[in-house]
Amino acid sequence: MNHFRMLLMVATLGLAATAFAGDTPDFAGTWELNPKKGENLGMVAAVKETLVITQTADQLVIDYTDVFQGKTTTRQVSYDLSGAGAVNFAAMGDRSETVSTWDGDKLITLWTSEGAIAGTAVVRTETRSVAADGSSMTVATARGDNPPMVLVYEKQ
């Protein structure tokens, strides 16, 4: 088993062990990024991003529409909410194995992609939550010990 697959398997087992089966939040709807409320956004602050999310008990599907420097791009990400792995592509087109599990009212997704050096992997941890009143959604993404990029979306 190569290093990449072993890391993915260990991450999956670790998240599955901490998963909590309770009432899950509802992420469905149309959301717009508010860069003024985010943290560590870098160039992302200049992107006009709209998400359309559909959600079932087993799947969360996000349709992204981004406008940056007058150019519109779209992509779709599908999260398997049963804890099984799925293949997705990050915003820059990198192929990733994603594993999503619930930790209370937060959806934790590990994005694992091949590193620049053969046999290595890059893991991003994405934590998605929705405000109690349903008016905003926060997505914090971190790699290693780096400060997370925090995106805040407002429900439309």
pLDDT tens track for 101-135: 999 999 999 999 999 899 999 999 999 999 999 99
The model's pTM is 0.83
The CA–CA distances, whole Å, from 25 to 63, 78, 104, 125, 129 equal 18, 17, 9, 19, 8
Query: Number of folded domains in the chain?
Result: 1
The CATH number linked to 125 is: 2.40.128.20
User: How many of the other CB atoms lie within 10 Å of CB of 75?
Assistant: 14
Q: What is the pLDDT of residue 22?
A: 52
Q: What is the pLDDT of residue 4?
A: 46
- 14: domain range? 3-155
